[in-house]
Amino acid sequence: MGIVRAAEDVEGAVVAGAAGGGGGGGGGEVTAPLLLRQHKQGRGDEEKIQDDAGGDGGGRRGGGGGGSMSMLMLSTAVAVCGSFEFGTCVGYSAPTQSGIVDEVGLSISQFALFGSVLTIGAMIGAVTSGRLADFLGRKMTMRISATICIFGWLSLHLAKGVIMLYFGRILLGFSTGILSYVVPVFIAEIAPKNLRGGLATSNQLLICSGSSATYIIGALVAWRNLVLVGIVPCVLLLTGLLFIPESPRWLANVGREKEFHASLQMLRGEDADVSEEAVEIKEYIESLHRFPKARVQDLFLRKNIYVVTVGVGLMIFQQLGGINGVGFYASSIFTSAGFSGKLGTILIGIIQIPITLFGAILMDKSGRRVLLMVSASGTFLGCFLTGISFYLKAQGLFSEWVPELALTGILVYIGAYSIGMGPVPWVVMSEIFSIDMKAIGGSLVTLVSWLGSFAISYSFSFLMD
């Protein structure tokens, strides 16, 4: 679940090239005042990039026309099959724990590794995703990721022992790391600015829908059959990629001029005038190339150390809040509290989608700090209620209250996390790094997120035991 939230709002960071873990609420772009405070030199180029990034021109021309929407909508619909796939990969372990443990005979430590090994694969995928997408193209990268996902799901379906289970989860994690980068990048690169926010929300919604579908269906079917929920979006993605154009920005970046213009024309409509937008895209790429190549050690320069501290610090607090423990092992938490594990995971699946939409609406209306403070207070309350329920159970007090108190605490925790502590750290990260440091800064923050995710998801079963 923490991975889901990370993925939902990292679009602003990954568009600039971060090899990252995650799709955007509002506010993914870097704002001029932040840039001016962080990087006063090179002001002209950065302000120009703010104006050009994301296809601003397309919002003023044919990209918004009703007759030119079909290919853009089809391309987005195909890409977000990868978002749905992401959600199914992350949500798979929560409703399947009892079935896998009983049938395969896993110990606590073995299932803890099964749940958390996804993040190891995801770290590898996230680190390599940027280079793969830049070298092979956005479509080919999605195609490779979907293919690897299918092999991962088949490995789980056919597993007779723990090795095949681990192997399948690592493959799914690797694909998840790639999809978390390339899908929001592709959507941001094909969309005109006036539609980018809405299309980015579709990425966010489909990730959440994939997780919710896995929670709900997983409570009703056997764990081997649940694999089909993950295979179907892969097949749809592979099929759909045959009918949509490549990202015009990537084509322009690699110098494929004819294909660049053809792709842009397809996305904006046959009758749209794309000449001005094509010029703006080329100017944006040229401006970006004028920045010196950032190095890891540049992150620790005095001018950057504050934003690095903020970005990394928010991610550490996000992960130490324990969201991946709750998300990966929700069923066992409910069962331990005396509540139906299946019903509990179904309820989580049901509330995720409306809360995710509500959080996306609040993102720009309420401000980042307010959302963080409200969300942190809510997650504290949810954890406190759940902790009280287990304390009462251990002391043999008010036993009839324990299941309802645990359920209330978990649902409050999930809801509060979804509106703030989940998405906001990623949005803040995408806003505070200057253009030239955005990719490498985003990579560092994303790596911290995956490491924290592994630590929490692996240790949680032992702590519960």
pLDDT tens-place string over residues 370-383: 889 999 999 999 99
Q: Could you write out the three-class secondary structure of 309-357? A: HHHHHHHHHHHHCCHHHHHHCHHHHHHHCCCCHHHHHHHHHHHHHHHHH
| pLDDT tens-place string over residues 90-133 | 889 888 888 999 899 888 888 889 988 999 999 899 888 888 88
Contacts of 51 (CB under 8 A, 6+ apart): none
Percent of the chain with pLDDT over 70: 85
pLDDT of 60-82, one tens digit each? 444 444 446 889 999 999 999 99
Type of residue numbered 73 = M
Residue 371 · residue 363 · CB < 8 Å: yes
Distance of alpha carbon 8 from alpha carbon 28, whole angstroms: 11
pLDDT at 342: 82
Nearest to 221 by CA among 106, 350, 96: 96
Q: Name the average pLDDT for the chain.
A: 81
More confident residue, 291 or 83: 83
Q: What is the pLDDT of residue 31?
A: 33
Confidence at residue 26, expressed as pLDDT on a 0 to 100 scale: 34
| pLDDT of 243 strictly over 70 | yes
Closest-CA residue to 190 (of 288, 295, 82, 266): 266
**Tokens standing for residue 174:** 């690797």
Examine the pLDDT at 145 and tell me if it is beyond 60.
Answer: yes
**Rounded-to-integer distance, Cα 275 and Cα 280, Å:** 9
Whether the CB-CB separation of 181 and 59 falls below 8 Å is answered with no
148/8 Cα distance (integer angstroms)? 22
> What distance lies between CA 367 and its chain's CA centroid?
21
Does pLDDT of 200 surpass 80?
A: no
CB 452 within 8 A of CB 320: yes
pTM value is 0.77
> Which residues make Cβ contacts (< 8 Å) with residue 320, sequence separation at least 6?
452, 456
Task: Convert the pLDDT of each residue in 317-326 to its tens digit.
Answer: 999 998 888 8
pLDDT reported for residue 68: 62
Q: How far is CA 53 from the centre of its chain?
A: 21
pLDDT at 48: 45
Residue 366 has pLDDT above 80, yes or no: no
* SS3 state of residue 242: coil
Show the DSSP H helices in 137-226 as ranges: 138-158, 162-190, 193-218
Give the contacts of 65 (CB within 8 A, at least 6 positions apart): 268, 269, 271, 272
Tens-digit pLDDT profile for residues 382-406: 999 999 999 999 888 888 889 999 9
What is the reported pLDDT for 158?
Answer: 95
* Packed helices 402-416 and 341-366: angle between N→C axes, nearest 10 degrees: 30
Tokens 């046959």 map to which residue? 270
- Taking the CA atoms of the chain, what radius of gyration do you get in angstroms? 22
Tokens found for residue 53:
């990034």
Measured in degrees and rounded to the nearest 5, phi and psi for residue 224 equal -70, -40
Burial of 245 (0-12, 13-18, 19+ CB in 10 A): buried
Q: What is the pLDDT of residues 211-242, one digit of tens each?
A: 889 989 998 899 999 999 999 999 999 999 99
Whole-angstrom Cα distance, residue 418 to residue 345?
16
Q: What average pLDDT does the segment 291-315 reach?
A: 86
Place of tokens 């980018």: 196
Q: Cβ(353)–Cβ(212) under 8 Å?
A: yes
pLDDT category at 167 given cuts 50, 70, 90 is: very high
> For 330-349, what is the mean pLDDT?
85
pLDDT of residue 1: 52
E strand or H helix at 373: helix 368-395
What is the three-class DSSP state of 98?
A: helix
Read off the pLDDT band of 447 (50, 70, 90). Answer: confident
